[in-house]
Chain A
């Protein structure tokens, strides 16, 4: 069974693309969403960036949640976005550093033993969104990847209305349209292994996620491991 809505672990995201991407990326990294012997985070899409920002203090104030993670897009101003999150968190008694950490940020929450983690798409350092994160998971050797970029540029020259600022989004969707099963949504495309799973950023994300929700060590600040976690993660002999 999937994690229950009232799980003490909660991961808040902007929309359903983020939600499905994270579910399937983690699945491909051997995270077992159905393992009822462990506490798994309940993922919820909060109705865009405004809904997400609005809900952060209410989640942090609650006594019902021990781990709260948020994943949101930097878009065109990483600092401004970070400041918004930091202010919202501070309102509810959680103190984030001045700048996001490249490996994802995790601090202690308001309540004892609680953690609050923030990941800013794509990589806590660059402008952009989920699509930039996914762009790094397109196979390098894929011959049509470059061509998808050229095709989007050419389409724009011919009057397509997509904006240059959304270039990577257009490329991703174009590229997905050219797969054996055309036009799969992001999560499903990850599941179908159309996307890869091991970009540097994706591995950092996975480590941040595990540290926040699944790492049994008491330190909330242990640095991200540089190597991918050894599968299967829940076998005690491998820990």
Chain B
């Protein structure tokens, strides 16, 4: 578990220290303050591999349209690395570093360097990381003359333990089938059903069917007292979001869950139960959670969580990310209660 993070030169952060981090961390702040970048910094240092850079770039559509010289099948992976650096500055010497401090130290650093290939001087992206003794990487990726980077052609396994990232607008249902596959018939399957009852009390069973388990139409559910099975898509966005949240959460045992705009599609009346589920599971399965929100209801529900279930609420810290600041503004569990109950704005 990370206890603090130091971010230097990554995306919108010249220099940022995030401390303390606890089991569950909620980030608030204005648009463009860097909340998503902060999740990505945590993701990078948790994954510790070049694929972390790619995940982040693909998520933000920072791929480059490539020319024919790049093999077709890797086309979608070519990305513009300049956006990873503070000020979008891709020059010789540009660098970023992310350090995670916990029981062990982990770090990722990346820099634009010179390399000589067959007596020609080229620019490369030097990538070094250290997560554990087994999990470290030293890679050098060529930056093409048009500014794109093609990562080495190889298969990227899911990191183990998992580092799951749930995006804000679009729920990527394509990998839900895979996550479901990891959890079905385990003890956690019951937890999934229990969680979905937060929104739909009649929820009975869930299945993924068909050849491509990615499509929303292939997720079907059964509700108590209803003869017919229903496609999940029929049941509303909140349930879909909650399912995605729960699958990404429960499959991340020992790892990380990063959620951008955790309140998406959730009515304020279910926020407390959502937090309870999330924090309880995170503690039980040793998952560190980083989430963002713009919702006041979402923050206030954390205050109620601490009041009603003190030992669960204790595991949560709230951070406000402010543009150009070198630290976040921190509210511990009790300060969240003070703000929530006193109607004091924290966002």
Smallest CB gap from A64: residue in B: B345
Smallest CB gap from B318: residue in A: A61
Those of B162-214 within 8 Å (CB) of chain A: none
Are B322 and A58 within 8 A (Cβ)? no
Are B342 and A61 within 8 A (Cβ)? no
B344 in contact (CB, < 8 A): yes
Are A63 and B320 within 8 A (Cβ)? yes
Are A61 and B343 within 8 A (Cβ)? no
Are B343 and A5 within 8 A (Cβ)? yes
Known A-B contacts A61-B329, A63-B320; the reply to A6 vs B345 at CB < 8 A is: yes
Those of B2-50 within 8 Å (CB) of chain A: 29-30
**Residues of B contacting A64 with CB < 8 Å?**
345-347
B215 in contact (CB, < 8 A): no
Known A-B contacts A63-B320, A63-B322, A63-B329; the reply to A58 vs B338 at CB < 8 A is: yes
Report, as a range, how many residues of chain B touch the other chain: 10 to 19
Partner of A58, one of B29, B30, B344, B347: B344
Known A-B contacts A54-B338, A55-B338; the reply to A62 vs B343 at CB < 8 A is: no
**Residues of B contacting A65 with CB < 8 Å?**
345
Instruction: Give chain B's interface secondary structure class.
Output: loop
Minimum C-beta distance from B266 to chain A (A): 23
Report, as a range, how many residues of chain A touch the other chain: 10 to 19
**Residues of B contacting A55 with CB < 8 Å?**
338, 342, 344
Most central of A5, A46, A55, A61 by chain B CB within 10 Å: A61
A59 in contact (CB, < 8 A): yes
Are B335 and A57 within 8 A (Cβ)? yes
How would residues 321 to 344 of chain B score, 1 for a CB under 8 Å from any chain A CB and 0 otherwise?
Answer: 010000001010001001100111
When chains A and B are docked, how far (Å) is the Cα of A115 from the Cα of B160? 49
Smallest CB gap from A57: residue in B: B335
**Residues of B contacting A58 with CB < 8 Å?**
331, 335, 338-339, 342, 344, 346
Minimum C-beta distance from B331 to chain A (A): 7
Minimum C-beta distance from A91 to chain B (A): 10
**Residues of A contacting B335 with CB < 8 Å?**
57-58, 61
Those of A32-73 within 8 Å (CB) of chain B: 46, 51, 54-55, 57-59, 61-65
Smallest CB gap from A8: residue in B: B345
**Residues of B contacting A63 with CB < 8 Å?**
29-30, 320, 322, 329, 345, 347
Q: Which 4 A-B pairs give the minimum distances between C-beta atoms?
A: A64-B345, A58-B339, A58-B344, A55-B342
Starting from the known contacts A57-B338, A59-B344, A61-B329, 10 additional A-B residue pairs (CB-CB under 8 Å) come to A55-B342, A55-B344, A58-B338, A58-B339, A58-B346, A61-B331, A61-B335, A63-B320, A63-B329, A65-B345
A-B contact pairs, 22 of them (CB 8 A): A5-B343, A6-B345, A46-B342, A51-B342, A54-B342, A55-B338, A55-B342, A55-B344, A57-B335, A57-B338, A58-B338, A58-B346, A59-B344, A61-B320, A61-B346, A63-B29, A63-B30, A63-B320, A63-B345, A63-B347, A64-B347, A65-B345
